[in-house]
Amino acid sequence: MRILNKILKYIRLEEDRTTFPATFRQELNYQSSKILTFASLITLSWLTYIPIDLQLHPDKPVIIAFRIGFPVVGLLLFISRFFDSLRTRYLLMLTIFGAYMEISTAILTASTKGDPAYIGGYLFVLTLLAVAPLEKTAAYTILGTSLLIFFTLSYFAGTDFTNPQTLYSLNDILCTAFIVSCFIFILNSTRHIRWLKSRESELGQVVIEDQKNQLEHQINIAGELHKALLPQTIPVINEAVISYKYEPMMELGGDFIDFYYNERDKNLGLFVCDVSGHGVAGALFSSMVKISLNRWNETLTNPSMTLHNIYRALEGKMGNHFVTAGACYVDLTSGEISYSSAGHLPLIIARKNGEIELINSKGRLMAEGIPPNYEDAGSVIYKGDSLILYTDGVTECYDGSNKMLGDECFYGLIQKHRDEDPIDMNNNIFNELQIFNKGKRFRDDVTILIMKYKGTV
């Protein structure tokens, strides 16, 4: 079976290729490979004429010699298909084979002094030059050489050129030669144009693929730069432990989180935002939010003022984008917290006893033409309680049947993992989100920020 497969591999009618050749000659070589097997095997039919040749011209052994030569040359061509080293020589081999056929047919036809039975065969062989994928110069050279040999040998063989029947046959040869010449030019030009268009198309695809790869590379770099905007180190705080999880929907995301720790005053600020859009636009806009937090330390204890400052920094630059954001202040000494929302999701307090408390405050999202109205809402946390800030990519996670996770299921995940440290809690919740999502890419950026309060000792 393996030997049979190998034989079938080499007698296929054309070579495999995934790209278009760089030169027209290489294209003609490929076109030659498509017909070489057929051309080599069809020569076997020449053997069937030998009995007829022996009856018509038993005194012309040259005819029999050429008849036998056709399949011999064809057999050599067929065998060449088994040698990989010859795969770049198909055009040359087809050219040699074509020259042999045209010249040998001219010789055996001339030797019969223009016998109409052989003139028809010669006309047929001449027409093959019109369709063979040879180089134009080679095709014209073979055609001219074949005609020159035919007429020269016919003259020396004593062909009667005054015979009307012979003249008619010679006129057919000349007309056929003229038509073949025209078709050689037309088909060669057509092949060349098709090759040029295919090559240009392929080069265009190469350029597009190269640009695509460059764009992906730039996006990857931008993604790394965007991730660099996120907190790179988490402060070590005696009174609290912080952990966050960020998974963008694309290479570039629109979610952003940050925190600020004032060790001297034992004050902690937590911040989360979700900008409209994804990809480059979302990442650039979230970068603008990051820049607007450069004076956060001045308003740390007043979250609503922090949001006001962000709005003023973004005003006139938002265009069609909008932002939802939540800012939280934590007094690590007393456990008092203050939360302000700009159209964002409520702050979740996961009590140590398993209760879920939501802290919300009035406040419109940040967008052009929408005046800010941010307020602070407060509460108190105790040892073992956790604060969770998140974006809607968490609750709007979908399963395989297009069912959304929703708020209550998310609260359930928080309650399930409330006794874990923030790092494990974040990882386990995120893993369950991935299971719920069937391991597919999330439809939105997913961001969770968790702070567990250890209290003061």
Whether residues 171 and 288 fall in one domain: no
More confident residue, 318 or 251: 318
User: Which residue from 261, 309, 259, 318 is spatially nearest to 286, judged by alpha carbons?
Assistant: 318
User: What integer best gives the mean pLDDT of the chain?
Assistant: 83
Q: Is pLDDT above 70 for 300?
A: yes
**pLDDT at residue 124, rounded to an integer:** 85
Whether residues 106 and 148 fall in one domain: yes
Total structural domains within the chain? 2
Whether residues 128 and 42 fall in one domain: yes
Query: What is the distance between the alpha carbons of residues 145 and 147, in angstroms, rounded to a whole number?
Result: 6
Query: What is the distance between the alpha carbons of residues 161 and 60, in angstroms, rounded to a whole number?
Result: 21
Of 158, 183, 205, the domain-final residue: 205
Whether residues 189 and 265 fall in one domain: no
Name the strand (E) or helix (H) holding 451: strand 446-453
In a domain, 227, yes or no: no
Q: Quick one: pLDDT band at residue 452, thresholds 50, 70, 90?
A: very high
User: Which residue from 80, 161, 178, 69 is spatially nearest to 123, judged by alpha carbons?
Assistant: 178
Whether the CB-CB separation of 362 and 305 falls below 8 Å is answered with: no
Query: What is the distance between the alpha carbons of residues 348 and 351, in angstroms, rounded to a whole number?
Result: 9
Percentage of the chain surpassing pLDDT 90? 31
In a domain, 217, yes or no: no
More confident residue, 223 or 272: 272
Highest mean pLDDT among 21-30, 53-62, 344-353: 344-353
The mean per-residue pLDDT over the stretch 159-174 comes to 82
CATH of the domain at 317: 3.60.40.10
- DSSP assignment of 321-354: -EEEEEEEEEETTT-EEEEEEEBPPPEEEE-TTS
Query: What is the distance between the alpha carbons of residues 98 and 269, in angstroms, rounded to a whole number?
Result: 86
Q: Is pLDDT above 60 for 9?
A: no
Whether residues 142 and 184 fall in one domain: yes
Query: What is the distance between the alpha carbons of residues 64 and 51, in angstroms, rounded to a whole number?
Result: 9
Q: Is pLDDT above 60 for 268?
A: yes
Whether residues 352 and 443 fall in one domain: yes
In a domain, 395, yes or no: yes
Whether residues 424 and 278 fall in one domain: yes
Q: What is the pLDDT of residues 370-412, one digit of tens each?
A: 999 999 999 999 999 999 999 988 998 888 788 888 999 999 9
More confident residue, 150 or 456: 150
3-state SS class at 244: strand
Whether residues 285 and 432 fall in one domain: yes
In a domain, 154, yes or no: yes
Q: Of the given ranges (225-229, 391-395, 421-425), which has the lowest mean pLDDT?
A: 225-229
Q: What is the largest CA-CA distance in the chain?
A: 128
**pLDDT at residue 14, rounded to an integer:** 46
In a domain, 216, yes or no: no
- Beta-carbon contacts of 333 under 8 Å, excluding residues fewer than 6 positions away, are 239, 266, 456
Whether residues 282 and 429 fall in one domain: yes
The mean per-residue pLDDT over the stretch 145-172 comes to 85
In a domain, 229, yes or no: no
Decide the pairing of beta strands 376-380 and 267-275: unpaired
Whether residues 293 and 411 fall in one domain: yes
Whether the CB-CB separation of 380 and 446 falls below 8 Å is answered with: no
**pLDDT at residue 217, rounded to an integer:** 64
Q: Of the given ranges (30-34, 109-113, 135-139), which has the lowest mean pLDDT?
A: 30-34
Whether residues 285 and 414 fall in one domain: yes
In a domain, 32, yes or no: yes
Full residue range of the structural domain in which residue 173 is found: 2-205
Of 160, 183, 205, the domain-final residue: 205
Whether residues 155 and 298 fall in one domain: no
- DSSP assignment of 10-65: HTSSS---SS--SSHHHHHHHHHHHHHHHHHHHGGGGGGGHHHHHHH-TT-HHHHH
Decide the pairing of beta strands 386-390 and 347-350: antiparallel
**Backbone phi, then psi, for 6, in 5-degree steps?**
-65, -40
More confident residue, 237 or 442: 237
Tell me how far CA of residue 188 lies from CA of 129, 130, 133, 184, 200, in angstroms.
Answer: 11, 9, 7, 6, 18
In a domain, 220, yes or no: no
**pLDDT at residue 240, rounded to an integer:** 94
